[in-house]
Amino acid sequence: MISLDDAVTARLETHGLRFEILVDPELADKMRHGDESIAIEDAVAALYVYENASHGDKSPEEDLEKVFKTTVFEEIAKQIILKGEIHLTTEQRRRLMEEKRRRVITFIARNAVNPQTGLPHPATRIELALEEVRINFDPFKSVDELVKETVKALRPILPIRFEERKIAVRFPMDFAARAFGAVSGAAYVTMEKNEWQNDGSWICVVRIPAGMQEEFFSLANHAAKGDAQIKILE
């Protein structure tokens, strides 16, 4: 559980009511981008839902039941994190933006090359180019979304090509629908083939940046609870 000093407010306003919880901004951000491994108790600073967290005013149970159809904190907190707004302090926003910027630079330096030379761009070259195009690194966007935006902005002044992997995956019937949502929703995935089989399973062929291979394997196996059949084609 995060300390109160490091927590920020996550707020959901609905049905004419306001519900707030105190959260770890980084863990809440990961949850909003699909990380299901994070336990609610690790992401919050207190196991209470508030009308006004700064005043310590708790939400009445009848309001929780009316809106969320439950009074179980974990279920309500997850909805607030996923659907609500996260309010960062200026310092927290700056820190998260800098962290996202660093991760984007590292990703591009590791996975992209200059198509004119076939050599990777050093991180310092990417940093200098970023100063020229002045990209805003939204702290609530995923790294793969920010990589796409960054590369698009950099290409006019810095030639970039990503090394790619072509991968085929078969998901069993029991996990096919869930896998379809996870794979098609990943911003770094380009779907080349998408077929539903007579037995209810789903087969896809995708292209991904080479540096996202392990992340894609993790996504596929998580969606299929380890039963995804994965084959690297090229």
Which pLDDT tens digit goes with each residue over 161-218?
888 889 999 999 999 999 999 998 887 889 999 999 999 999 999 998 877 788 899 9
What confidence tens digit (pLDDT) does each residue in 32-77 have? 877 788 899 999 999 999 999 989 999 999 999 999 999 999 999 9
| Domains, in order of start, for the chain | 4-87 (3.30.1250.10), 90-162 (1.10.10.900), 164-232 (3.30.70.240)
Q: What is the pLDDT of residue 213?
A: 84
Q: What is the pLDDT of residue 84?
A: 93
Give SS3 for 132.
helix
Q: What is the pLDDT of residue 200?
A: 95
Q: What is the pLDDT of residue 43?
A: 93
In whole angstroms, give the CA distance from residue 18 to residue 36. Answer: 25
CB 81 within 8 A of CB 43: yes
What confidence tens digit (pLDDT) does each residue in 90-102 have? 888 888 899 899 9
Give SS3 for 140.
coil
CB 145 within 8 A of CB 177: no
Q: What is the pLDDT of residue 220?
A: 94
Q: What is the pLDDT of residue 113?
A: 85
CB 187 within 8 A of CB 179: no
CA-nearest of 197, 192, 190 to 170 is 197
Give SS3 for 50.
strand
Q: What is the pLDDT of residue 67?
A: 96
pTM, to two decimals: 0.60
In whole angstroms, give the CA distance from residue 183 to residue 206. Answer: 9
Q: What is the pLDDT of residue 215?
A: 85
What confidence tens digit (pLDDT) does each residue in 138-165 have? 888 888 889 989 999 999 999 998 888 8
Q: What is the pLDDT of residue 91?
A: 84
What confidence tens digit (pLDDT) does each residue in 80-132 have? 999 999 888 888 888 889 989 999 999 898 888 888 888 888 999 999 999 99
Does the pLDDT of residue 135 top 90, yes or no?
no
Does the pLDDT of residue 229 top 90, yes or no?
yes
Higher pLDDT among residues 19 and 93, named by residue: 19
